Amino acid sequence: MLSRHRAGSAAAVLLITLGSVVPGAGASAVPSAPGGQVRHIHQRGTAEYQPTGTGTGVPAALSTEIPHRHGDDARVSAAAGADRTLAPAGATRAALTRSATTPAPPPPPGVIRTPRLLTSFDGINHRQQRTANNGNQFSLEPPDQALCVGNGHVVEAVNDAFRVYAANGTGQTGVVDLNTFFGYPPAINRSTGVFGPEITDPVCLYDPTTRRFFLVVLTLGTTRDGDFTGQNQLDIAVTGDPTGVWKTYSVDATDDGRNGTPVHPNCPCIGDYPHIGVDAYGFYLTTNEYAFFGDEYNSAQVYAFSKRALARGDADVLVTQFDTTAADAGRNGFTLWPAQSPSTGDYDRSQKGTAYFLSSNAAEEATGTDDYVSDSIVTWSLTNTRSLDSARPAVRLHDTRVGVHRYSLPPLADQKAGPAPLAECLNTPACATVLLGAPDPLAPETLSRLDSNDTRMQQVTYTGGRLYGALDTAVPAGGATKAGIGWYIVQPRSSSSSVHASLLRQGQLGLAGSHLIYPAIGVTAEGHGVMAFTLTGGGYYPSAAYAAFDGHAGAGAIYLAKAGVGPQDGFSGYRAFNDPPRPRWGDYGATAVDGHRIWIASEYIGQRCTLSQYVADPFGSCGGTRTALANWGTRISLIKP
């Protein structure tokens, strides 16, 4: 992910990771549908798990380990580290259990269910992704965790690796890098120095109607020498068996007229921060569109497909693209998150099929100012989605604002002090010389505070006629301003020409002395839910946590799925690699509803080691638990709400 203004695209990598991208072959435009432009995309090929060898994880020369970013990526926005927030009132007090098995205090009135942790296991960690494909990978932060569950499979994808698990955590596949999975050359061939495409921002879902898994990534093109070309595309993979063969499609996101794309200002552009959802008829993909070689932001883009055409593996599929420039009462749309539903009975079939999205509008991309404060969120509807199955889709996009309590940019999140061998190495001339080739001229390094996201909407669920969403915000907790969560339950109503929405419930979740960051809400068809997030603070290492969440009363008591055992100690938090540093975390967590149970996934730190263990042979591996440059991990848990 880039600076705050491009949170999501190209994860902070320890070098750029790209090669030539093959655009969707033969893409062509057809006349625009009402409110959107329609064009053809064609099946690109297949993707599948392929076993690969494991590298050592020992850092190569930093010229092929640390990214040389373009445009906004070449520097970090001052806003990324500034605490410029105004704390909203009314933060919810939450009690925290010290372990998942210790009973929680009574939940607030109306929260009638106490969630039970059924199973929990480690997902992909940084070492596994860096050493995949014989080590022909880059050091990446953050993981940008994708999670989808169905047909007895638990699928996880991160920057930049993929694995399928059984429900008990047993691997049904090994860890494979996403370049190999999608059939691209390695991110970097460390024998020849040739770059391949950079893949980033993985997202996935399981659709209960078609019984298909959908996995989407943003793929950025470079030359063989690693220079960006401006070409980028959204790669879509679809399958019924995630351990088998997936059919793949590519949607060009440059929007400069190539491959049937519209011509937008400041392009070629990048389709940043993709997210996906479904309704009864359609599959939806949204992006934030930025100039590829500049700082300009255009607006959120919405892509609508027939999900049955994708599920069938049709050779030719229509996509309808909407541009949300000035759509929100003159503001540009930003991070429209499409809704997912837990069951086929939850879709809104009125208006010949209606899909929903939520977004917030406090970010600079929407307002044109850097205040990051708002008292409204936005509900979007896409109507007549049944027409996506026809030869002439005629879907229409509508939006309306919903008034909420003020939310604002959260402060950086601190973490419990502990051994941070990368920071200690950078502060030790002999060790820094081994790592950097010279002593760190910017020493001393200090333990970083974690990026707490901005105010963009996170995962959205539609069930029982209600939309559920959450975002990161500043909250008052224990007499201080902390990073916390704003959550919303909205009841939308669509007509053929507009959408209306009522706010049913809202709240803000905070914890004295700690921070709650990167929320994701999952809700069953019965209205029982869980909200996952990372918990960190002066008394906690970054931990995988969750809260009870009820469809009527909202968020309740907080629990730990797995406590972190050490501090985050990754390259993006230190000046030697990024000055000023931006300690990357999250971008997003994930939930996936599986019948009456909910899977959650969050980033956490599952290892710790001392400097002496770090400098042992092999350098930086700490007994095979991390790499020299990063130590993030992911935790996957099954909850019965």
Q: What is the rounded distance in angstroms from the CA atom of residue 636 to the CA atom of residue 147?
A: 9
How far, in Å, are 65, 307, 442, 570 from residue 575 at the CA level?
16, 45, 6, 11
Query: Residue 573: what pLDDT?
Result: 95
> Is the N-terminal amide bond of 472 cis, ω within 30° of 0?
no
SS3 state at 12 = strand
- The C-alpha R_g of the chain, in whole angstroms, comes to 22
How far, in Å, are 74, 397, 479 from residue 15 at the CA level?
12, 39, 41
How far, in Å, are 91, 296, 454, 459, 560 from residue 371 at the CA level?
20, 18, 11, 23, 33
pLDDT in tens, 438-451: 898 888 999 999 99
Q: Is the pTM of this model over 0.85?
A: yes
Strands 153-158 and 161-165 turn out to be antiparallel
Q: What one-character DSSP code corresponds to residue 411? A: P
pLDDT above 90 covers a percentage of the chain that reads 80
Amino acid identity for residue 640 in this structure: K
pLDDT in tens, 152-171: 999 999 999 999 999 999 99
Q: Is the pLDDT of residue 484 over 90?
A: yes
Strands 354-360 and 337-340 turn out to be antiparallel
Report the candidate in 609, 584, 451, 608 with the shortest Cα–Cα distance to residue 140. Answer: 584
Q: Is the pLDDT of residue 76 over 50?
A: no
SS3 state at 6 = helix
Q: What is the rounded distance in angstroms from the CA atom of residue 357 to the CA atom of residue 494?
A: 12
Query: Residue 60: what pLDDT?
Result: 65
Quote the tokens at residue 235: 């790669």
204 with 148: CB under 8 angstroms? yes
Query: Residue 517: what pLDDT?
Result: 98
Report the candidate in 260, 257, 334, 322 with the shortest Cα–Cα distance to residue 298. Answer: 334
pLDDT in tens, 86-108: 222 233 323 333 333 333 444 44
SS3 state at 424 = helix
pLDDT band at 32 (very low <50, low <70, confident <90, very high): very low
Per-chain mean pLDDT for the chain: 88
Q: Return the exposure string of 63-83: e unless at least 16 CB atoms fall within 10 Å of the residue's CB, then b.
A: ebbbbebbbbbebbbebbbee
- Positive/negative CA dihedral, 222, 223, 226, 230: negative
Q: What one-character DSSP code corresponds to residue 433? A: H
Q: What one-character DSSP code corresponds to residue 449? A: P
Query: Residue 351: what pLDDT?
Result: 98
pLDDT above 70 covers a percentage of the chain that reads 86
Phi and psi (nearest 5°) for 263?
Answer: -105, 110
CA 330 to mean position of chain CA atoms? 27
165 with 231: CB under 8 angstroms? no
534 with 543: CB under 8 angstroms? yes
Phi and psi (nearest 5°) for 300?
Answer: -70, 140
342 with 374: CB under 8 angstroms? no
Minimum mean pLDDT range among 230-239, 433-442, 497-506, 524-533: 433-442
> Is the N-terminal amide bond of 142 cis, ω within 30° of 0?
yes
